[in-house]
Chains A and B, each alone.
Chain A
Amino acid sequence: MYAFDYHKPSSVADAIAVLKKADDGTFVAGGMTLIPTLKQRLAQPSDLIDLGGVKELVGITVSGNTVTIGAMTTHAAVAKSAEVAKAIPALAALAGGIGDPQVRNRGTIGGSVANNDPAADYPAACLALGATIKTDKREVKADDFFTGLFETDLAEDEVIVSVSFPTADKAAYMKFDNPASRYALVGVFVAKTAGGAKVAVTGAGQNGVFRVPEMEKALSANWSADAVAGLKVNAGTLNADIHASADYRAHLITVMAKRAVAAAG
């Protein structure tokens, strides 16, 4: 790890002010990606601005048909929230399946969404549920937010405040673990929403999380596992690595989609 100046502001405004003053500052939320990156000397920020002291970013509220999760809310808090479990059980289950207990108690939804790791779980939920990402400046639809591998629509000095998820009639997330890292080798989030069925895939796409319109169309017409059984994502758009070829990932997307629909009921 290289040396850096550490700050722990108590408000979003202060955090942004500190960042603007820094040569090459960076926000840290739970640090589940950034800290290992720093330890491996793969990043050298001048300043680390810890959002852990910003209380306004923590908390879960359910109002009407919307679940709003503060950006600094940990995965563990989402996983054990009775309100989330009641409103969108698939979201609570997804949070409970991220990483391991240590990660779930440090990692945050804001950090996960801002980092947009192509194998992270939350981005799939955001796309399939049609979430809205609220920042200190604006509100962005999930479909517009995730722009590529580790890339989002977020400006450098912009802070995610919360993520709001509309409830769904039915939803489920099925993750197939990378055997080594246990990140999603393929994760499929399916949701039956007022605006039709949505299917989002993480872990597999060359450009990160993506939706599968053919499956959405099929499920909108017929919400059943059989409806997606014959549909396959083009392997040419998928990742290949030592753990899974693109063909295997394409196959797993279909299998996980079927299982997710079955699990959603």
Chain B
Amino acid sequence: MPDGGTGIGAAVKRVEDKRFLTGRGNYTDDINRPGQTYAYILRSPHAHAKINKIDTSAATSAPGIVAVFTGADMQVGSIPCGWQIHSKDGSPMHEPAHPPLAQGKVRCVGDQVAIVIADSYSQAKDAAEKIVVDYTPLPAVVDMSKALSGKTLVHDEIGTNLCYDWAIGDEALTDAAFAKAAHVTKIDIVNNRLIPNAMEPRAAIGEYDQATGEYTLYTTSQNPHVIRLLMGAFVLSIPEHKLRVVAPDVGGGFGSKIFHYAEEAIVTWASSRVRRPIKWTADRSEAFMSDAHGRDHVTHAELAMDSEGKFLALKVDTKANMGAYLSTFASSVPTYLYATLLAGVYTTPVIYCNVKAVFTNTIPVDAYRGAGRPEASYLLERLVDRAARELGLSQADIRRRNFIPTDAFPYQTPVALQYDSGNYTATLDSAQKAADVDGFAARRKASEARGKRRGLGYSTYVEACGIAPSAVVGSLGARAGLYESAEVRVHPTGSVTVFTGSHSHGQGHETTFAQLVSEKLGMPMENIEISHGDTNKVQFGMGTYGSRSLAVGGEAIVKALDKVIAKAKKIAAHIMEASDSDIEFKDGVFTVAGTDKTLPFGQVALTAYVPHNFPHQELEPGLDEKAFYDPLNFTFPGGCHICEVEVDPDTGVVTVERMTAVDDVGRVVNPMIVAGQIHGGLAQGIGQALLEGCVYDEDGQLLTGSYMDYTMPRADNLPSFSVGTETTLCTHNSLGVKGCGEVGAIGSPPSVINAVVDALWDLGVRDVKMPASPQVVWAAINSARPAAAAE
């Protein structure tokens, strides 16, 4: 497709934006069902407490009340975890029960205690205030070290707060390499806990059809088929053919809407009890205290090097917070999505990583934009930054010395992954140029003349997207396959509906996927519809997370398109009385090679459905093809982020002056959408580095429960970004695509903190914790000054 077209590589404007930007989206809360009731979920105010008694009598007789249910009423299955990790001793992880409504005990603030169903939301809320819950508060455990050493148990029945004690790599080889090292750099790292804050809070509507016995759940999900499987098979025992899950327009997820949440099961279950649809919509405070949180790692790491700064070995010890219950993918995040990335872009030959996953009296922690890879890149890039400073090497030099060479691909790391392609020198070179690294010294001088400090920070990272193949992830404990499915339905007049198992909640799939169709079938965008998010429409799907939609979902669409084209060629050959092998298809027209005989795609589509002149002996009528695609490997986007900050040493305020990102996301289908995805990721990455941090007090109360205390990035916290791409193609998918949804959030946080440390290094500052808020930076300067003077 030429420039200005609508095929692969064209910056087509997002077709979905018209409805989103004009308020015409159809979100779960916009849906209203006949006879609908409204639910309020009563939540635990305690981080840890025994429930002695729940008295719902006053609530049940309150005006407008339809029903009140507690855990005693709702005896169903446990909310399952989708990935089983085995500890290094071979034992399976502890999987304590996770009931949708509390059974005798609450384990975090926000835990679900009762559902109040009424004719209106305010009636439900009024009645909920009349429920008397007799709690015996128990000591809460919030800190992971205390959880591992203390007596307070989140789950009494498992006898420990240690979910698993997992390891990867060869510890003996790693120790041996350390013994021979000329220099060892050590670092202690906290990856701060984050609250996802999708713009649309979670919502769910449960509906039961008494006539057919069918349930419908409308929900804010990134993967409706996964919810159908988890909730239907494990929690409520509803078979797939009696359960429809619809995830309509969804206003952002960032991972937090992957998981199966209690409220989905509660409203679905209760809808059959009250025989009316039930709508629940979280308010913002509820989102803070009930959406799964992200990150929350505490790590000690050591890097062994030879005298030239060549990496010899890496040893990492991490504690990862699981919260009070195991959320859907929680167990996989600090293991297979984290420790497998610890080679980074470097040739470190031996790596050992031990991860202890810990239960605490906090909201469950699960995947959040990047999921494990930001934790890996932050750790590595802070460690490399420190190593360069200790060895007196430049930040670019130490990286170039250790990069996996461009001719070494496919490259097998010592931590399971095999990278298919990449060119880390190219992204570094390009980023240095775009960031005007050469001009930094002059800019630093100008800052210093104004009493400010200026710093430059690097991050060269790789990540793993499109987690696959199913056989491998299954062997590692995944309880699902990680393929994707697509259906390309060509209509009789030649327009096309694509049904995809991917789910768009801001990513622009309706545009990007339509571009694939436009490219392949040579048709205009307006003839293409992308349908997703409804288990009754889409044959199957694993959904959208881990930057997998184009690399996995898009490939499934391409496979289905190829099947459509192959069949259409046969129909065209029949009509034009030529051999199949002589038919060429380009720009929407079938041609008999070497002749001027042509047939437009629409004519073939019509013939498929009005098969008067049709090869019936060879083909079935119709033009509607399905495909499932199970990738051969992950994809490996990578790149270089360079951040330049100015710090006001009097107040500790950090200003991001420049943010440069040069990423390799494989082939770019829509450069505008890719830039938008990277912009969003950078905003969240800078948010993690400088602004966002979830804080619990030691009693397990959430101190950052609103925007008054939780600092979301705003436009004036961010500079105008410089983003670019340096492309190497993925070698194992036909599109050559890698994924772009998370790279911004994965690559940028260490570049920001490295820049802050660079600005303050001469003052004696050696580390600055995330979020590097003014108070944190000021305290770091303050506590470093005496040390610097002593040096």
A contacts, CB < 8 Å to B: 1-2, 40-41, 176, 179-181, 183, 242-245, 248, 251-252, 255
Interface of A is mostly: loop
Cβ distance B780 to chain A, nearest Cβ, rounded Å:
12
Which of A180, A243, A255 gathers most chain B CB within 10 Å? A180
Structural contact, B651 and A243, CB atoms closer than 8 A: no
Structural contact, A248 and B708, CB atoms closer than 8 A: no
A180-B711, A242-B709, A248-B778 are known contacts; what are 13 more A-B pairs with Cβ within 8 Å? Answer: A176-B651, A176-B774, A180-B707, A180-B709, A181-B707, A181-B709, A242-B695, A242-B704, A243-B773, A245-B779, A248-B652, A248-B779, A251-B778
B170 on the A face (CB < 8 A): no
Cβ distance A39 to chain B, nearest Cβ, rounded Å:
9
Cβ distance A117 to chain B, nearest Cβ, rounded Å:
12
Give CA–CA (A179, B776) in the complex, Å: 12
Considering the complex, which residues of chain B in the window 447-506 have a beta carbon less than 8 Å from any beta carbon of chain A? Answer: none
Given contacts A181-B707, A243-B709, A248-B775, contact A255 B650 (CB under 8 A): yes
Structural contact, B711 and A179, CB atoms closer than 8 A: yes
Q: Can you report 28 residue pairs joining A to B where beta carbons are below 8 Å apart? A: A1-B122, A2-B126, A40-B285, A41-B125, A176-B651, A179-B691, A180-B704, A180-B707, A180-B709, A180-B710, A180-B711, A180-B712, A181-B707, A181-B708, A181-B709, A242-B695, A242-B703, A242-B704, A242-B709, A244-B775, A245-B775, A245-B779, A248-B775, A248-B778, A248-B779, A251-B778, A255-B650, A255-B651
Task: Give the A-B pair count, Cβ closer than 8 A.
Answer: 39
List of A residues within 8 angstroms of B122 by Cβ: 1
Considering the complex, which residues of chain B in the window 688-733 have a beta carbon less than 8 Å from any beta carbon of chain A? Answer: 691, 695, 703-704, 707-712
Cβ distance B59 to chain A, nearest Cβ, rounded Å:
16
Cβ distance B125 to chain A, nearest Cβ, rounded Å:
8
Give CA–CA (A251, B122) in the complex, Å: 46
Cβ distance A150 to chain B, nearest Cβ, rounded Å:
15
List of B residues within 8 angstroms of A1 by Cβ: 122
List of B residues within 8 angstroms of A179 by Cβ: 691, 711, 773-774
List of B residues within 8 angstroms of A244 by Cβ: 775
Cβ distance A170 to chain B, nearest Cβ, rounded Å:
22
Give CA–CA (A40, B284) in the complex, Å: 11
List of B residues within 8 angstroms of A40 by Cβ: 285
Tell me the nearest residue of chain B to A244, going by C-beta: B775
List of B residues within 8 angstroms of A41 by Cβ: 125
Cβ distance A169 to chain B, nearest Cβ, rounded Å:
26
Cβ distance B2 to chain A, nearest Cβ, rounded Å:
44
List of B residues within 8 angstroms of A176 by Cβ: 651, 774
List of B residues within 8 angstroms of A180 by Cβ: 704, 707-712
Cβ distance A239 to chain B, nearest Cβ, rounded Å:
13
Which of B122, B285, B651, B695 gathers most chain A CB within 10 Å? B651
Give CA–CA (A244, B712) in the complex, Å: 17
List of A residues within 8 angstroms of B695 by Cβ: 242
Cβ distance B118 to chain A, nearest Cβ, rounded Å:
15
Cβ distance B597 to chain A, nearest Cβ, rounded Å:
65
Structural contact, B775 and A243, CB atoms closer than 8 A: yes
List of A residues within 8 angstroms of B651 by Cβ: 176, 252, 255
Give CA–CA (A183, B711) in the complex, Å: 12
List of A residues within 8 angstroms of B708 by Cβ: 180-181, 183
List of A residues within 8 angstroms of B773 by Cβ: 179, 243
| 5 tightest Cβ-Cβ pairs between the two chains A and B | A180-B711, A181-B708, A179-B711, A255-B650, A248-B775
List of A residues within 8 angstroms of B125 by Cβ: 41
Give CA–CA (A248, B652) in the complex, Å: 10
Give CA–CA (A176, B691) in the complex, Å: 15
Cβ distance A229 to chain B, nearest Cβ, rounded Å:
11
Tell me the nearest residue of chain B to A256, going by C-beta: B651
List of A residues within 8 angstroms of B650 by Cβ: 255
Which of B704, B775, B778 gathers most chain A CB within 10 Å? B775
**Digit string of B12-56 for contact with A (CB within 8 Å is 1, else 0)?**
000000000000000000000000000000000000000000000
Cβ distance B66 to chain A, nearest Cβ, rounded Å:
20
Give CA–CA (A245, B776) in the complex, Å: 10
